[in-house]
Amino acid sequence: MPLSKPAPDAIAAAIRADALAEGFIACGFAPALDSAGFSDLVEWIEAGFAAEMTYFADRLDAYRHPSGVLPGARSVVVLAYPYPATDPIPPDLTGSKIADGNGTGITIHGRVARYTWSGADYHDVIHPKLKRICRSIKQLSPEAHARGIVDTAPMMEREVAQLAGLGWRGKNTLLLSRTLGSYFFLACVLVDIELPSDTPFETDHCGTCTACLDACPTDAFVAPHVLDASKCISFLTIESRELIPESLRHDIGDWVFGCDVCQEVCPWNRKPSRRAIAAEGSDASGHQSAAQPSRGRMQLAELFWLDEDSFRERFRKTPMWRTRRRGLLRNAAIVLGNTGTFDCLSPLLSGLQDTEPMVRAACVWAIFQIGERSPLPLPDHVANALDQLRRVESQAMVLAELEPRQG
């Protein structure tokens, strides 16, 4: 006699147990439904708020229903995985300078987003866990098909997470939990079998609070729940492949990769459950990386000595790989321009010789910013380097940074 097929309740219970064993801190189940927020997504794209992220429009139709990710999807398992934890430096929530050890307010470090603090790419950490859960589902229900995703598929994860009872969508657009705050990643497992659903989370616990909207250094929120990505520091320093607009460079402050301001000020993150953060300096699996930023900060000067090969060797398995070498050096130059002194000129002078025009342009801007803050003129060798660049430079974006200051 063949073994009886497990009931849906039993399959769901097994999935939940597997998820918790893999280090996920929350697990919920939602039906695969047409997206209630699809029209909002269309309006957001049409308003230009997706900025350079053309993949939203390119895959727009797939966002209508989870079957755009897994054909025949009937249920979605929504999972929360904790950010890595370490002791942060006291944040200056305006995004401006952070005092160093001697209290001078000068630093050649930049802040990085909390999710990077283990140094490991969270996709590399979470995907193997999802694959094991998918294999377990297949063993329980051989006819089932399952697919695990972590923010790279056309999926309305936060909407589905709310349906699965994990939390509500905050005014900063992130999923918030009363017990976990927002310091976690969302992942999903889509299945083409029907599983029992959890009760949707329907209460908005943000109330009248506007802390996240008020604290954003670049005023990137055009309304509650609506983010203009073209002004968001996380987008500008991670996703953007262009030179950051001059009007936003000062507001970036010392953020070299990402930004956590709208999370740092959120009352729900002040005392998150200890389950919402992993072991210090690691992810929930204990993974640590040689590229782990020190207490949420990254040394900037040394980045300018890395060629493409050495950059790849150091950062290929880290979140910083997303922005590539030229993006990270662009960001580093802007932070040095915002926070540096004459002591920071050496790496910027090196950057003037970089093969990437965007890096050269950012370094020109940074040098002039440092010069404008100083009561002393730029040293002769620096002024000479800028004059030499004017004579040989052919790229418009670099010339634009040099031109207004001629004469």
Contact 398, 390 (CB under 8 A): no
From the list 223, 231, 175, the residue with the least C-alpha distance to 48 is 231
**pLDDT cut 70: percent of the chain above it:** 86
pLDDT over threshold 70, residue 102: no
pLDDT over threshold 70, residue 191: yes
pLDDT over threshold 60, residue 285: no
pLDDT over threshold 80, residue 407: no
Least confident span in 79-93, 212-226, 374-388 = 79-93
From the list 382, 391, 395, 389, the residue with the least C-alpha distance to 356 is 395
pLDDT over threshold 80, residue 96: no
pLDDT over threshold 90, residue 293: no
Residues labelled as active-site residues: 151
pLDDT at 371: 96
Q: At what angle do helices 8-21 and 122-140 cross, to 10 degrees?
A: 150
Burial, 285: exposed, middle or buried (Cβ in 10 Å; 0-12, 13-18, 19+)?
middle
pLDDT over threshold 80, residue 141: yes
pLDDT over threshold 50, residue 88: no
Contact 333, 359 (CB under 8 A): yes
Predicted confidence band at 273 (pLDDT cuts at 50, 70, 90)? low
pLDDT at 3: 60
Q: What is the mean pLDDT of residues 121-134?
A: 97
pLDDT tens string 151-166: 999 999 999 999 999 9
pLDDT at 296: 79
Q: Name the residue with higher pLDDT: 91 or 128.
A: 128
Whether the predicted model's global pTM rises above the 0.85 cut: yes
pLDDT over threshold 90, residue 334: yes
Q: Name the residue with higher pLDDT: 118 or 185.
A: 185
What is the DSSP-derived secondary structure letter of residue 24? -
pLDDT at 94: 33
pLDDT at 294: 52
* Average pLDDT score over the chain: 89
pLDDT at 2: 53
Q: What is the mean pLDDT of residues 333-351?
A: 95
Predicted confidence band at 118 (pLDDT cuts at 50, 70, 90)? confident
Residue 375: which residues within 8 A CB-CB, separation 6 or more? Answer: none
pLDDT over threshold 70, residue 280: no
3-state secondary structure 141-159: CCCCCEEEECCCCCCCHHH
From the list 165, 201, 164, 193, the residue with the least C-alpha distance to 30 is 164
